[in-house]
Amino acid sequence: MTESSRSQFLSLHLIETLAAVLPVRDENAQPKSLVFGGVERHMITSQARRRAERVHARNRANAGRGALKGRSMGIRTRERALLTGRELESTHGWDRDRALTTARAVLEATGLKFGDLKKKSVANLTRVLIFALSDAGARIAHQIADRAAEIEEWRDAYLEALAQAEAVKKARRGTKKKTATPPEAEEEATTETTTAVALPPLPKATRDAVLLALAPRDAVDIALYGRFLAEIPDSPNVDGAVQTGHAFTVHESEQIEDFYAAADDAKLERKRNALDFLDAADDTGAGMTGYQSLISGTVEGAGDQGLVPGTFYRHAVLDWTQLRTNLWAAGMDEAEAEQAASEAEKEFVNSFVEAFPEAKKNSTASTGSLPALVLTFEGERPYNYASTFQKPVDERPVPDGGEGPAGPATVRRLLRHHLFVSHRRDDLRTARVLTYDAEIDLLLGELGLPESLSVVEQAEDLTP
């Protein structure tokens, strides 16, 4: 399909069923939830979904697999100074203190803010996550090493000026009466003090090299997901080409408090071999007990048998025009941008289908799930079908007035809604569905889908 015949947006809709998992949690380790349609639903936040998809695509590309193999990818971290310092050590032979001190000073003078030097845990971490190419640290280290004499002379002057600014700040504090100062006022005073003591500017060539290293350049995942870096006004931001909705259960949900007991291997071994029979009383009981919260669905009026798997609806959109614009801005010509955009689209769809947040992955095996149904189609605007599930799916048996199991019931609703909308919106086209569920596959055959809705067997076939 040529660029001129493409619609701007690719809408993706997915149904998946999970049982006894906790893919994302709040600050109290409880499942995240929202109220929709008058009942509580469990939620998997868009942030968790986006990171899982981004990392999945990056790992595949770095391993030489997938549509983006060989393409440049980014990494989001607060450890830019640490990464640059390690590169100066390993590649250029600098000692650790010299390397880290110089790297931090260079990045700070470029505009990035760091943690308090008095706190070792954050002293060399930027205050915000910096999303840039994975080779940024190596590029900055190479620039520093190439101009070592000039930069170290600047660094010493810069650190001396910072020390003078700190001394002035302490002197001012000593002349004032001890009063409670709001944090905002204290930060403003610190800024004024630093400004009063002139800090030597970073050499222009070095600053330009740092800006280039931190620029989005040709990182495909930055073109997809975007980035915002307010601390350096002259470092370009990127409007992401991917929109992601929060996933939520299509039915009313409740959490399970799972009691667990962990065994103490040494205690059990001692008891098994009767090595300490006089203290047998100490060998009783578990080594540790506790509770963990997990998510599930519920069937109204089903009593103790009401716990069922949780079926989620999730949605995302790829803005094809924005993706190409971002790749053009990164310096690609039209042909290269078209090729990279096509590869990025395929890998994004694959990640949307395969990736999963990794919280409690070992204790719940949640990352092994596959979707019951994926629906994709093009349109001149995004289409979110969340309203289809405003009325919670009633999972009671059909003879009792319900809709039956949530998986098939949700698929019926979603496809019925899509066909209804597509009859009233003439921009919807190239619709495709994929299932990894044998029962849903049979259902698709029973529904008698129109020719405008193709059934495919591979995730790579979900793209136009």
Report pTM: 0.85
The predicted pLDDT at position 285 comes to 66
**Greater model confidence, 26 or 335:** 335
Q: How confident is the model at residue 302 (pLDDT cuts 50, 70, 90)?
A: very low
Is the pLDDT at 146 greater than 60? The verdict is: yes
- How is residue 145 written in tokens? 């090493």
pLDDT at 155 over 90: yes
pLDDT greater at residue 196 or residue 313 = 313
Residue 293 CB burial class (10 angstroms; 0-12, 13-18, ≥19): middle
Q: Which two tokens stand for residue 118?
A: 């008095």
Per-residue pLDDT of 52-63, as tens digits, reads: 999 999 999 999
Average pLDDT over the chain reads 88
pLDDT at 279 over 80: no
Quote the Cα angle for 78-82-86, to 5°: 145
The pLDDT assigned to 178 comes to 55
For 254-274, write each residue's pLDDT tens digit: 776 666 677 788 777 777 776
- What percent of the chain is modeled with pLDDT above 70? 86
Q: How far apart are CA 54 and CA 68, in angstroms?
A: 12
pLDDT of the residue at 273: 72
Per the listing, tokens 């001890």 go with 178
* Nearest residue to 232 via CA among 112, 352, 319: 112
With CA atoms as reference, report the closest residue to 252 among 18, 398, 37, 40.
40
pLDDT at 367: 83
Residue 269 identity (one-letter amino acid): E
Q: What per-residue confidence (pLDDT) applies to 25?
A: 78
Our CA dihedral for 87, 89, 95, 100, rounded to 10 degrees, sits at 20
Pairing of strands 453-455, 429-434: parallel
* Region 179-206 average pLDDT: 69
Give residue 301's pLDDT: 45
What is the arithmetic mean of pLDDT over 431-436?
A: 97
- 382-424 confidence digits (pLDDT tens): 999 999 999 999 988 899 889 999 999 999 999 999 999 999 9
Q: Which of 26-35, 101-110, 237-246 is least confident? A: 26-35
The 10 Å Cβ neighbour count of residue 421 is 15
**Is the model's pLDDT at 186 over the cut of 80?**
no
Q: How much is the pLDDT for 306?
A: 47
* Residue 63 DSSP class: T
What is the DSSP-derived secondary structure letter of residue 199? P
* CA atoms of 293 and 21, how far apart (whole Å): 9
3-state secondary structure of 209: helix
DSSP tally for the chain: helices H, then strands E: 14, 14
Can you give the pLDDT at residue 105? 97
Q: Is residue 175 a contact partner of residue 223, using CB atoms and an 8 Å limit?
A: no
Tokens representing residue 365 in the block: 């095996």
pLDDT (average), residues 348-375: 90
If pLDDT is split at 50, 70 and 90, which confidence band does 190 have? low
Secondary structure of residue 258 in the 3-state scheme = strand
Give all strands (DSSP E) within 332-428, no chain letters: 373-379
Residue 156 tokens read as: 């010493």
Contact 110, 118 (CB under 8 A): no
